[in-house]
Amino acid sequence: MVSDKIGIINLALGKLASERITMLGRLTTDSEESLIAANCYDDIRREVLEEHSWRFAQKRAALDYVVADDTSRTIEVDTFTPILITAATATDPVVITADNHGLYNHQKIIITGVSGMTQLNSNTYYVKDKTNDTFSLTDEDGDDIDGSAFTAYTSGGQIQRAEHNTPITITAATAAEPVQLTTLSVHGLAVDDWVKIIGVQGMTNLNDNFYQIKTVPTTTSFTLKETDADDEGDDLDGTAFTAYTFGGVVLPCPELTVVDAYVPIVYQAPADMLRPTKKSVREAYTTHELDKVISDIDQLKIIYTYDCKDVTKYSPKFIQALATRLAAEIGFNITNSVAKAKELMQLYESVVLPDAVAIDSTKGSPDEVQQDEWLNNMDVGPQFATTGETWTPF
């Protein structure tokens, strides 16, 4: 009986006739095959959970507002907190140390704010040979970055993800009234645009706040204005802020479109939510964007698929589906056989997953419209709901 992550990884490795593992995290002794499987496991688990509203992976929540409806915003680019660099080697290739960086091989990144080894700054690189805390750098052609002639690293530095929407990278910020930001490249922002700022070092007063653009002196600079309750457009006074040191990202946040005379309300999605499956009000306008749920009603309640990591809750059919999908994803790296990887993916898509979904659905799909009373032992955010709800698909 499979009861843990290692068991599922071993099922996947068995489908590839590869060596099994007995323990996770032993980077010096585990086989290359087992490390590949372990590194992919969490991403594949989440993808398979999102394939269907699995009964074992459903929760309920009464959502909380993010901001008042008159300043509701949605973020266009990935909300990704920059990662701090703690070391860099002047070698061929350059090896970066960043504790628990969470990056993956071939991922596109930007580095800023490094002291000493300033040759790294404001450039785009790709991740190679990653471990939990380190990785080496390559260019877009896959060639190693030779840092043997670089100045020695002394301190600082920040990694920003750039594989989808290139972030607007901050390079300077003035402790003045108004605060003025300088960006690495042309920012494309205009007066009155909304932005959110994250990842700034030093002038951390700016982080995780919404602002509007006051003026745009150049294509690579802009000033900020307050967005308090009276929304009078006062200059953002940074004279008492801590001095800027390095890093930070600007995220464009346009006003939400009015829907049928309603200004949509932004809710914070539960931290473990993968996707919403049902809502408590049939006629509610609802959509899911990144880590937010957007609607046009107050007191929205949802049922959602959560990131269930407890293997003991998985059904046997789901375990087979997850192991087959994992084997398909890592198949080429382990066997060097495109045909084997395609065979496993076809098996997953046409047989194993449909079989698992069918069995789960016969037990009563949570996608069906139903009358249901909220139980006090269910997860419902800050309060318990005890009255009946009419649940409809999200």
Is this prediction's pTM over 0.85? no
Banded pLDDT at 2 (limits 50, 70, 90): confident
- Of the candidates 191, 166, 150, the one whose C-alpha atom is nearest the C-alpha of residue 77 is 166
Q: Which fold has domain 168-252?
A: Elongation Factor Tu (Ef-tu); domain 3 (2.40.30)
Determine the CATH number of domain 83-161: 2.40.30.180
CB 223 within 8 A of CB 235: yes
pLDDT at 141 over 50: yes
What pLDDT does 311 receive? 92
Domains 83-161 and 168-252 share a fold: yes
Give the domain ranges of the chain.
5-54+309-362, 61-72+257-307+366-393, 83-161, 168-252
What pLDDT does 72 receive? 53
CB 168 within 8 A of CB 250: yes
Element (H, E) at 251: strand 249-252
113-117, 170-174, 228-232, 336-340: segment of lowest average pLDDT: 228-232
3-state secondary structure of 360: helix
Write the pLDDT tens digit of every residue in 318-366: 999 999 999 998 888 888 888 888 999 999 999 999 999 998 887 654 4
Which two structure tokens, joined as six digits, stand for 216? Answer: 């745009």
